[in-house]
Amino acid sequence: IGTGLNTFFGRAAKLVGSSSDEIGHLQIILAKIGNFCIIGIVIFLVAEILVM
């Protein structure tokens, strides 16, 4: 019988806790999509204000 870090959950927690703070590929893609949407909205709002 394992206790503490020798259990399944202990080993899983150790693996999750040891992950580095690097930005993942998915986070980069989502950030690019978010930036594109924000820039598009800002351009639309500026154009809408100029047309009024």
Q: pLDDT, tens digit, for every residue of 33-44?
A: 999 999 999 999
Give domain status of residue 14, yes or no. Answer: no
Contact (Cβ atoms closer than 8 angstroms) between residue 43 and residue 49: no
Give domain status of residue 41, yes or no. Answer: yes
The H-or-E segment that residue 19 falls in is none
Q: What b/e string do you get for 20-42 counting C-beta neighbours within 10 Å, with b at 16 or more? A: eeeeeeeeeeeeeeeeeeeeeee
Q: pLDDT, tens digit, for every residue of 1-52?
A: 567 777 888 888 777 766 566 778 889 999 999 999 999 999 999 999 999 8
Domain boundaries, position 50: 22-52
- For the whole prediction, is pTM greater than 0.85? no
Quote the CA–CA distance of 41 and 36 in Å, as a whole number. 9
Quote the CA–CA distance of 25 and 23 in Å, as a whole number. 7
Per the structure, how many domains does the chain have?
1
